[in-house]
Structures are given as structure tokens and as C-alpha cells.
Amino acid sequence: MKSGFVQRCLITAGFTAGLLTFDVGPLWSQAKLDYKVVPILQPMKDRAPTPEFTLATPEGKKLSLKDFRGKVVLLNFWASWCVPCREEMPAMEKLYQEYKEKNFVVLAVAVKDRKQDAIDFVKELKLSYPIALDPDAQVGNLYGAWGLPATYLIGPKGEGLARGWGPAEWYNKAARNLIKDLVDGKR
């Protein structure tokens, strides 16, 4: 009986010592982010891989989502005829300029838009982030972008982090802090 008691005490002591030496630093730094600081965003609970796609740029080059692995991607579906898109895209440009050197990219997909209209829109707003054309809305439909704008935040491994429908203020303090936390490795 004593040996069983002693054995249980030793196991408990060993377990407790193991807990005390367990490094909880990384767990603390990986606290879940509040994606709702950008009111349109809803976190994606399963963090499943996002659908892969390849589209043409206005210059005729091929662009794939996988080209941006290792970066946090703000995938935005838009159109030149979409007034809320016109309102939010300059803020996305500022966000892109601030974080593009920190493994962040805005990837804007023009949905059901004429190529020349998309080109004129990009020039008018002086957008420098990557643009892709989805004239038949195949990729937009794949992502469920039935209304515009629609936005997805995608992690560096291609995992879906959050999604939202409608315009957002992408350069306010809360949005900038969210993107900073994402590029700093917080998820």
C-alpha cells in the first residue's frame, strides 16, 4: 500500500514538475486575434486551405494564389462599377504600402468586369498591388463572392483566417493593428 502511495506521489510530482517547466510563452503569443475589429470580418473556424486559382493579370500574365505562399494575403473581389469598392480600395493601397515589405499582399480580383474598365479603374486610383481578372466570375463564385466587395484574409500557408462581405475601412487603426499582428505571426 505504501509503495502505491509513494508511486502516485512520485508520478504527481513528476507531472507537476513537467508543468512547471513547460514553456507557455509561444501559447501566449498565439492568442486568438479578434478579426471583428474590422466589422465586416468573420473568423473562419476551421482554417481550411483556401481554393487555389490562376487568373490573368491586365497585362496578360498568369497569377496564382500559391504565388503568395509565405505571405498574409488580403484577397479582395471587386469591380469597377462597384461604388463601395471604389471607396475602400484607396485605403487598401495605403495598407499595402505600409506592410508589403513585411510579407503582406493585397490581391484584388476584378469580377465580371471588362478588362479596359478594370485597367482604367486601377490607373485612376493609382493602385500598385497585384490585380487579376475574373471576367466570368469563376473564382468569385468559388469563394462565394456573390456581392461586392468581398474580402478574405489568408494566412501564409494558404489557410483561410477570416472573410467578410461589404466595404471596410482598411486603413484605420484597428485594421492596421490586425494586419500588423498577422504579419508578426499571431493568428
Question: pLDDT tens digits, residue range 70-93?
Answer: 999 999 999 999 999 999 999 999
Average pLDDT over all residues of the chain: 86
- Residue 28: the pLDDT is 30
Q: Where are the beta strands (DSSP E) in 125-185?
A: 131-134, 150-154, 160-165
Model confidence pLDDT, tens digit, residues 120-175:
999 999 999 999 999 999 999 999 998 999 999 999 999 999 999 999 999 999 99
CA 68/CA 22 separation, integer angstroms: 35
Residue-wise pLDDT tens digits, 9-33: 333 333 333 333 333 333 333 457 8
Residue tagged 486601377 (cell numbers):
122
